[in-house]
């Protein structure tokens, strides 16, 4: 069985050394062929798990049969993320194995049972998140808070207005100003228009 070893720590003052050693020893005992070791430092909530993406790419190309991790939270950012990646791995016939004893081989009855339970938990998590968002919005409205950008508010253009007006005075074209400040030409025109109206 060909496996990829994946290690992750959350901060730069931590090291993957212990995870790596434990996973290598586990692979040797199980007589797995280790095709490579991927390590990264990133929060579990980060969307930039580049090394994990490389392991997933290997699985998608069916170049490995399994992925070894020390614990499930080293792999999944959340229950929803774990279920999503598990389903992908299953479609490629790749197992996710945590050396704590949890093995997600969806070809086995045990793996299917655990995946079904976790799918239910993931759906419960999604419902909780939606409910929190709805509740928070409702509470904000009760307090009289206006949600979203208010009519007439121009946070970015207001911040850049002094630069726009200065460049206009220096004789730059609206198109050039828009390009330099990464604004649309329409926004530049509106800034100048608002300024002139305030001066009249």
Catalytic residues: 10
Spatial separation of the C-alpha atoms in residues 40 and 42, rounded to whole Å: 6
Spatial separation of the C-alpha atoms in residues 111 and 124, rounded to whole Å: 20
Tokens 């050039």 -> residue: 176
Q: Please choose, from the candidates 75, 71, 72, the residue with its C-alpha nearest in 3D space to the C-alpha of residue 55.
A: 75
- Residues 6 or more apart whose Cβ sits within 8 Å of residue 115: 83, 86, 87, 90, 104, 106
What is the number of residues in the chain? 200
């Amino acid at each position: 069985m060909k496996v990829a070893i994946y290690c992750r720590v959350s901060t730069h003052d931590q090291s993957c050394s212990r995870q790596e050693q434990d996973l290598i020893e586990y692979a040797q005992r199980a007589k797995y062929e280790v095709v490579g070791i991927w390590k990264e430092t990133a929060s579990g909530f980060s969307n930039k798990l580049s090394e994990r993406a490389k392991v997933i790419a290997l699985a998608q190309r069916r170049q490995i049969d399994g992925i070894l991790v020390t614990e499930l939270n080293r792999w999944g950012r959340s229950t929803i993320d774990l279920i999503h990646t598990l389903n992908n791995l299953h479609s490629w016939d790749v197992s996710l194995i945590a050396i704590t004893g949890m093995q997600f081989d969806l070809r086995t009855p045990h793996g299917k049972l655990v995946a079904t339970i976790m799918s239910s938990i993931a759906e419960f998590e999604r419902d909780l998140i939606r409910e929190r968002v709805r509740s928070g919005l409702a509470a904000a409205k009760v307090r009289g808070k206006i949600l979203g950008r208010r009519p007439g508010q121009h946070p970015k253009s207001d911040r850049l207005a002094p630069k726009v007006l200065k460049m206009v005075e220096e004789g730059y074209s609206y198109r050039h100003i828009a390009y330099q400040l990464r604004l649309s030409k329409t926004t530049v025109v509106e800034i100048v228009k608002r300024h002139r109206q305030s001066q009249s």
